[in-house]
């Protein structure tokens, strides 16, 4: 006879069964009862400074470990974390959002309750737009089944889900036994359809003389890196990554060419992809940023596009084919060939500091390329923090995190919390612009509280660089702050100010030895300095916005 459990207990136990070790968030009166259950669980609550910081941290945790969770209060918390959840949805990150809510009984007695917006269903209706599944646990007999259904959808689809818990439902008894076969109905893949897709793709690839693989973000999200590697090494095909898929394969692999982003990226990579007579896309998003603001020149008649949604070959479409099984079957169907060692990326030169020269974006990333190893994970905010970092060589898989599609500022600093909680053996190297830092940099208080030790480099050019590249105006300038003094604010960590390459060398040497807390480097850059990639992006976006002169 299974023991009786409350709705809240069942939710906690199911979260534990998924393997979650941490839940990020901020408490509030509508969720305090559930927080008590979290305290008594095997999971650790990570309290951040803001709900959006909790969302970014949980998103990064999900990207690294395969599942993340954030727990907040009703509306003021739930709507504050919404932008982070939207980014997770756009970039396919499996994030569970748990929100407290007013109790069902109190809604009858006092219809105007604090935190309420419009009516009691408003937050739920909003979250239905940015999640792949959502539920309100307002019926104890069905609560357990709903919990299983929603969390299973998160793990299967790799997108956020939403669970709302009215506070007077937390301790209500629920039906204790929920089997997997009672969960959400799913579309069953058809092996015959997969065989047809593999046969057509294999025929097209066998006939090709210059094939290339373009690997994207879904290879990260669905844990298909080993399958990709086997395909690459068996066929000998060269492989590139999309910007969002960067680090999908170790970037010192002899068959890895670089990041493909149309005319935005390296000419050698562009020629390899656009000059191929067959391009195999695996789990790639065809977004404007991934395609170099649509500067990509790709003939659909030469493309095989395989994703978790469907497979398209030329103009034929195959539905309900599992991406992982497609890759495996395709690998078996193709002849084994030895790949050639190719390097479209420019060979990294040994960096020699010019002590009295001002640091530039290009020289910064040249230097940082020598610092990275298998013990680091790179986390980039948007702008030149991202576009300069394209040149970095990742030594491991999934060691590069960035909101490269949704491009929301403020991701990087709180993401360092989630990434290091998920993988304590990796030290985050964080690149963040001064504008993005001003949005979420106060999460250094959380980093200090939990004894994390990222190295944070603030690219300080006193403004919004991406917007400057699109259209210059005084609204792109921001206040210059002493970011390196944050250790004094939070009473932990180490910081310094850098303007020259000599000072950068000294700062990095100190930061590397300062392992018991975070380090923050306030790196001053000329406001007009920027990467070539960002300049090309700005020119394209300016033209599309009708702002080009």
Which CATH number, 3.30.420.10, 3.50.30.20, 3.30.2350.10, 3.40.50.970, labels domain 361-541?
3.40.50.970
Question: For a pLDDT cut of 90, what percent of the chain falls above it?
Answer: 70
- Name the band, by pLDDT with cuts 50, 70 and 90, for residue 464: confident
- Name the band, by pLDDT with cuts 50, 70 and 90, for residue 149: very high
Question: What are 394-443's pLDDT values in tens digits?
Answer: 877 668 999 988 889 999 999 999 999 999 999 999 999 999 999 999 99
Strand ranges, E, within 307-415: 310-313, 316-319, 376-380, 400-401
Question: What are 108-148's pLDDT values in tens digits?
Answer: 766 777 777 888 899 999 999 999 999 999 999 999 999 99
Backbone angles phi, psi at 351, to 5 degrees: -85, 130
Q: Indicate the DSSP class of residue 12.
A: H
Rounded distance, CA 315 to CA 303, Å? 9
For 157, how many CA atoms within 13 A lie in the half-sphere containing its CB? 21
Of 243-247, 253-257, 449-453, where does the model show the most confidence? Answer: 449-453
Which range among 73-82, 277-286, 505-514 shows the weakest confidence by mean pLDDT? 277-286
Question: What are 65-87's pLDDT values in tens digits?
Answer: 999 999 999 999 999 999 999 99
- Position 545 scores a pLDDT of 62
- Residue 520: which H helix or E strand, with range? strand 519-524
For 82, how many CA atoms within 13 A lie in the half-sphere containing its CB? 16
- Name the band, by pLDDT with cuts 50, 70 and 90, for residue 233: very high
- Name the band, by pLDDT with cuts 50, 70 and 90, for residue 474: confident
- Position 477 scores a pLDDT of 82
User: What are the extents of the domains in the chain?
Assistant: 5-182, 191-333, 361-541
Say if CB 55 and CB 85 are below 8 A apart: yes
Question: For a pLDDT cut of 70, what percent of the chain falls above it?
Answer: 89
What would be the CATH architecture of the domain defined by 5-182?
3-Layer(aba) Sandwich (3.40)
- Position 289 scores a pLDDT of 57
Bridge partners of 282? 215, 306
Rounded distance, CA 311 to CA 304, Å? 7
- Name the band, by pLDDT with cuts 50, 70 and 90, for residue 491: very high
Task: Look at the domain 191-333 and name its fold.
Answer: Rossmann fold (3.40.50)
Taking residues 230-243, what's their average pLDDT? 95
Question: What are 7-40's pLDDT values in tens digits?
Answer: 999 999 999 999 999 999 999 999 999 999 999 9
- Position 180 scores a pLDDT of 39
Helices (H), 278-433: 323-333, 361-371, 384-387, 412-422
Backbone angles phi, psi at 95, to 5 degrees: -120, 130
361-541 shares the fold of 191-333: yes
Rounded distance, CA 300 to CA 279, Å? 9
Q: What is the mean pLDDT of the chain?
A: 89
Whole-prediction pTM: 0.91
For residue 344, pLDDT over 70 is answered with no
β-pairing, 303-306 vs 278-282, is parallel
Taking residues 355-383, what's their average pLDDT? 93
For residue 540, pLDDT over 70 is answered with no
């Amino acid at each position: 006879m299974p023991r009786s459990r409350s709705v809240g207990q069942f939710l906690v136990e199911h979260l534990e069964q998924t393997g979650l070790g941490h839940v990020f968030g901020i408490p509030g009166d509508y969720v305090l009862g559930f927080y008590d259950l979290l305290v008594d669980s095997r999971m650790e609550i990570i309290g951040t400074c803001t709900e959006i910081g909790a969302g970014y941290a949980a998103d990064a945790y999900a990207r690294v470990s395969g599942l993340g969770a954030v727990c907040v209060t009703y509306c003021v918390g739930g709507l504050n974390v919404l932008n982070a959840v939207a980014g997770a949805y756009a970039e396919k990150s499996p994030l569970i959002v748990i929100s407290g809510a007013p109790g069902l009984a109190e809604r009858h007695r006092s219809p105007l309750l604090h935190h309420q917006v419009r009516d009691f269903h408003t937050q739920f209706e909003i979250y239905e737009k940015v999640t792949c599944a959502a539920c309100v646990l307002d019926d104890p007999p069905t609560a357990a089944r709903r919990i299983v259904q929603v969390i299973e959808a998160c793990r299967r689809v790799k997108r956020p889900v939403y669970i709302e818990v009215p506070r007077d439902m937390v301790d209500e008894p629920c039906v204790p036994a929920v089997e997997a076969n009672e969960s959400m109905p799913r579309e069953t893949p058809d092996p015959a359809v997969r065989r047809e897709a593999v046969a057509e793709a294999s025929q097209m690839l066998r006939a090709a003389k210059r094939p290339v693989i373009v690997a994207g973000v879904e290879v990260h999200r669905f844990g298909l890196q080993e399958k990709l590697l086997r395909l690459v090494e068996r066929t000998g095909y060269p492989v590139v990554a999309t910007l969002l898929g960067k680090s999908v394969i170790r970037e010192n692999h002899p068959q890895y060419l670089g990041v493909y982003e149309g005319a935005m990226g390296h000419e050698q990579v562009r020629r390899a992809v656009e000059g191929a007579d067959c391009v195999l896309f695996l789990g790639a998003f065809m977004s404007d940023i991934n395609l170099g603001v649509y500067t990509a020149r790709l003939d659909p008649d030469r493309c095989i596009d395989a994703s978790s949604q469907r497979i398209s070959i030329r103009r034929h479409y195959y539905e309900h084919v599992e991406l992982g099984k497609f890759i495996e079957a395709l690998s078996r169907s193709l002849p084994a060939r030895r790949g050639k060692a190719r390097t479209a990326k420019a060979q990294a030169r040994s960096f020699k500091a010019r002590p009295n020269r001002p640091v530039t974006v290009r020289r910064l990333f040249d230097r940082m390329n020598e610092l990275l190893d298998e013990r680091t994970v790179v986390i980039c905010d948007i702008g030149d923090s991202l576009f300069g970092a394209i040149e970095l060589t990742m030594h491991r898989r999934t060691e590069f995190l960035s909101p490269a599609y949704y491009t929301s500022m403020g991701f990087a600093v709180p993401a360092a919390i989630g990434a290091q909680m998920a993988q304590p053996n990796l030290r985050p190297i964080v690149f963040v612009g001064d504008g993005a830092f001003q949005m979420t940099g106060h999460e250094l208080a959380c980093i200090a509280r939990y004894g994390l030790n990222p190295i944070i480099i603030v690219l300080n050019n006193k403004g919004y660089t991406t917007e400057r590249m699109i259209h210059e105006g005084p609204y792109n300038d921001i206040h210059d702050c002493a970011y390196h003094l944050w250790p004094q604010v939070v009473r932990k960590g180490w910081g310094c100010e850098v303007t020259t390459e000599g000072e950068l060398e000294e700062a990095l040497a100190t930061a590397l030895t300062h392992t018991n807390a975070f380090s923050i480097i306030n790196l001053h850059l000329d406001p007009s300095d920027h990467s070539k990639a960002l300049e090309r992006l700005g020119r394209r976006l300016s033209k599309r916005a009708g702002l080009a002169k």
